[in-house]
Amino acid sequence: MKPVVTRALFDQVMVPNYAPSATIPVRGKGSRVWDQDENEFVDFAGGIAVSCLGHCHPALVDTLKQQGEKLWHLSNVMTNEPALRLAKKLVDNTFADKVFFCNSGAEANEAAFKLARRYSFEKFGQKKSKIIAFEQGFHGRTFFTVTVGGQAAYSDGFGPKPQDIQHVPYNDLSALEALIDDDVCAVVMEPLQGEGGIVSPALEFVKRVRELCDSHNALLVFDEVQTGVGRTGELYAYMGLGVTPDILTTAKALGGGFPIAAMITTDAIAACFKVGTHGSTYGGNPLACAVAETTFDIVNTPEVLSGVLEREQWFRDGLEAINSKYKVFSEIRGKGLLIGAVLNEDYKGRARDFLVASADQQLMVLVAGANVVRFAPSLIISKEDVLEGLARFERAIASIVS
């Protein structure tokens, strides 16, 4: 007999590290979601930049059904066709020569940081182990990745942290120049900070980071867990910056909602992960890779990627129009369909109030810290859904302002 599923059941059976709303979604289609009571929501959250083709995209559903009747899982004692096809497409369409598959952004970043240290250890010796990352960065929730992430609130309270990790402010060249030296094995950065507030880098900053890494024989690691797979209007955000990393991580949108992630890098660096050095039980799972391949094929087209920038303008125009009436935002920032509406001084610290008010109007949005309302919808969301969602967002704002 199935248990009756209510929000109260969460408190009975789940570890209390989340605080979900009372709403329990049960089905979705495109950028609309329905709850247990058939209330319809517009989805501007995308499962935190995951559902890049919306909910239940027919091509992904078809791929899932087809692969589900063939092969679900193998150990890495054997390889499989979907994994190799997806890896070939990642290599053919990026700077990389080699791919490592895993399940989540945290796993991909864990692999990237371990590989950076292993490469430096083998090439330059054990003294070259320092990692520089940026304040307000976010790289996952394993102990290594959460320590590299520049938010102490997420890493404090778990005992001694991994060592040789230092942080500087994002976009602060002088701070980075003062800290970097020949003991640095890697500089780790998001090419657009997500959880840290939807903060874009200055182009001269990114280019100088690359130059500093080169001059100190340090690797440049780009965390594209949130920005990758079309989110910024390029296949990967580094392509719009004109700066190529040595290692890149990708997850979230890669599977269109199916858990999968990858770390990609060059032949020379990948060679340091010899047999048995690192692994992942589910990494390269044929079911995940099949769905991800279909997702990749759809996103990596001129019409979808150019459509992202068109949709960005719909959001910007709509948010600016709303703000001209209610005066709640100091700026709209971000790129593509990773957009942040920054609250002004009058509403500082109240981003969650806007999230809750939006949910009351049957709109799903996100926050990026206490001061930014974040939008990360489907890359193919219709104009009708954008306009309807913005109308609901305006009603949410009106309820707060009044």
- Reported as a pLDDT band with limits 50, 70 and 90, residue 2 is confident
Q: Extract the tokens encoding 383.
A: 């104009």
Q: Which residues are annotated as a binding site?
A: 105-106, 138, 141, 223-226, 280-281
372-382: per-residue pLDDT in tens? 999 999 999 99
Q: Which residues are annotated as a binding site for pyridoxal 5'-phosphate?
A: 105-106, 138, 223-226, 281
Q: 7-56+302-401 is classed in which CATH architecture?
A: Alpha-Beta Complex (3.90)
Q: Extract the tokens encoding 397.
A: 């704002």
The per-residue pLDDT for 341 is 98
Return d(Cα 337, Cα 266) in angstroms, integer: 29
Of the listed 43, 44, 113, 223, which one is catalytic?
A: 223
Average pLDDT over residues 287-302: 98
The per-residue pLDDT for 183 is 97
The answer to whether the CB of 142 falls within 8 A of the CB of 176 is: no
Strands (E), 81-172: 98-102, 130-134, 165-168
Which residues face 342 on adjacent strands?
331, 372
136-146: per-residue pLDDT in tens? 999 999 999 99
Return d(Cα 138, Cα 110) in angstroms, integer: 12
Domain boundaries, the chain: 7-56+302-401, 71-299
Task: Inform me whether the pLDDT recorded for 401 exceeds 90.
Answer: yes
- Of the chain, the percentage scoring pLDDT greater than 90 comes to 97
Query: What are the two backbone dihedrals, phi and then psi, of residue 300, each rounded to the nearest 5 degrees?
Result: -80, 55
Instruction: Tell me, yes or no, if 98 is annotated catalytic.
Output: no
228-274: per-residue pLDDT in tens? 999 999 999 999 999 999 999 999 999 999 999 999 999 999 999 99
Return d(Cα 89, Cα 290) in angstroms, integer: 12
Of the listed 138, 354, 375, 393, which one is catalytic?
A: 138
Mean of the per-residue pLDDT values of the chain: 97
Closest Cα to residue 308, out of 335, 332, 331?
335
The per-residue pLDDT for 149 is 95
262-281: per-residue pLDDT in tens? 999 999 999 999 999 999 99
51-67: per-residue pLDDT in tens? 999 999 999 999 999 99
327-343: per-residue pLDDT in tens? 999 999 999 999 999 99
pTM for this predicted structure: 0.96
- DSSP summary character for residue 329: E
As a CATH number, domain 71-299 is 3.40.640.10
The per-residue pLDDT for 4 is 86
The per-residue pLDDT for 3 is 76
- Reported as a pLDDT band with limits 50, 70 and 90, residue 122 is very high
The answer to whether the CB of 335 falls within 8 A of the CB of 311 is: no
Which residues face 4 on adjacent strands?
none
The answer to whether the CB of 261 falls within 8 A of the CB of 228 is: no
Closest Cα to residue 133, out of 115, 146, 114, 124?
146
Instruction: Tell me, yes or no, if 138 is annotated catalytic.
Output: yes
Average pLDDT over residues 176-205: 96
Q: Extract the tokens encoding 122.
A: 């083998």
The per-residue pLDDT for 17 is 92
352-363: per-residue pLDDT in tens? 999 999 999 999
The per-residue pLDDT for 330 is 97
Average pLDDT over residues 133-159: 94
The answer to whether the CB of 107 falls within 8 A of the CB of 282 is: no
